[in-house]
Amino acid sequence: MPSDEPIPPEDAFELVGNDIRASIIQTLQEGFKNGERKMSYSSLKSRVGVRDSGRFNYHLQQLVGYFVEKDQAAYRLSYAGRKAASAIAGGTYNETVELESRSVNGACLNCGDDALELTYNDVEFDISCTNCETSIVHMPFPPGAIASHRDGDLEAAFDRWARSWNMLSSTGVCPECGGRMEMGFAEEQGDPAIGNVDVRCTLNCTQCWMSGYLPVGCLLLEHPLVVSFYWNRGYDIRSSFIWEFEWALSKEYQEVHRPEKDLIKISVPLDDDELQITVDESFEVVNTDKR
């Protein structure tokens, strides 16, 4: 395979869809993690555990030039190989994980009940109200991440994952592929919707499949204006979970000025103060006010 030409995406998937090739990638990843950035042919072969040299070599050579790079007599993962290794380790391609539903802190923004429940089905992490059956926050979370965090603070891990995803999106960078995101406002809801606002920010990657509809408040959570507003009043904004910020998810705190101006104003209440932030469709802050 010529290494200077990109291979078609469907061929790339075929490459990792074979046990021996997936095992080669995982073995190189283990080495990479332990500081062994490249591996000799014989070491790699014995660790993968394939006796038949012809068969092993055939599969290894299939990966060279894309997921694996050959460096003199040794082999190492390319960047694409490390991404594939993360997807394999995250269980994105092959794993299913069971998680018993459990109640979580926070009140429902729809009915106000303290009846929030965490469930995990089909790679989707979901916080819903069991009283009015409204989904408050949901997004894909890799099965491997559930397995890795289930005995620790799973809610906190998901919260960080979702918020860093939102933070990247809000700055126009695709959290999946790093490509450029196009942003706008729309009355589209997503299914099921996140938050109960009428107008959402639309996010579409110009390069990959990534798209989403999120309340503007959700995307403002990690903005320096909001983070410092909390910090200066003695609060670390990370000490609450994303589904606990009613102002970020609810239309009560969102004022829409469109279509004539395409601006959305969000009110962020904290103790006796209120911060108001107005953003335009490209998510530039056009006005701030404190009360």
Residues that bind Zn ion in the complex, under the rule CB under 5 A: 108, 110-111, 129, 131-132, 174, 176-177, 179, 205, 207-208, 210
- The least distance separating Zn ion from the CB of residue 2, rounded to whole angstroms, comes to 26
- The least distance separating Zn ion from the CB of residue 212, rounded to whole angstroms, comes to 11
Q: Which is nearer to Zn ion, 39 or 242 (CB)?
A: 242
Q: Which is nearer to Zn ion, 148 or 196 (CB)?
A: 196
Q: Which is nearer to Zn ion, 53 or 206 (CB)?
A: 206
The Cα 240–Cα 97 span in angstroms is 26
The Cα 30–Cα 23 span in angstroms is 10
Angle separating helix axes 79-89 and 9-16, nearest 10 degrees: 60
204-242 b/e with 16+ CB inside 10 Å = b?
bbeeeebebbbbbbbbbbbbeebbebbeeeeeebeeebb
Q: Which is nearer to Zn ion, 250 or 276 (CB)?
A: 250
3-class secondary-structure state, position 53:
helix
- The least distance separating Zn ion from the CB of residue 207, rounded to whole angstroms, comes to 5
- The least distance separating Zn ion from the CB of residue 135, rounded to whole angstroms, comes to 10
- The least distance separating Zn ion from the CB of residue 51, rounded to whole angstroms, comes to 41
CB 144 within 8 A of CB 90: yes
Q: Which is nearer to Zn ion, 179 or 269 (CB)?
A: 179
Q: Which is nearer to Zn ion, 194 or 277 (CB)?
A: 194
CA 278 to chain centre: 26
- The least distance separating Zn ion from the CB of residue 145, rounded to whole angstroms, comes to 19
- The least distance separating Zn ion from the CB of residue 136, rounded to whole angstroms, comes to 8
CA distances from 170 to 31, 187, 242, 256 (A): 36, 18, 15, 18
Token duo for residue 226: 């909001």
Token duo for residue 209: 């499949």
Q: Which is nearer to Zn ion, 146 or 181 (CB)?
A: 181
The Cα 218–Cα 181 span in angstroms is 16
Phi and psi, residue 61, nearest 5°: -65, -25
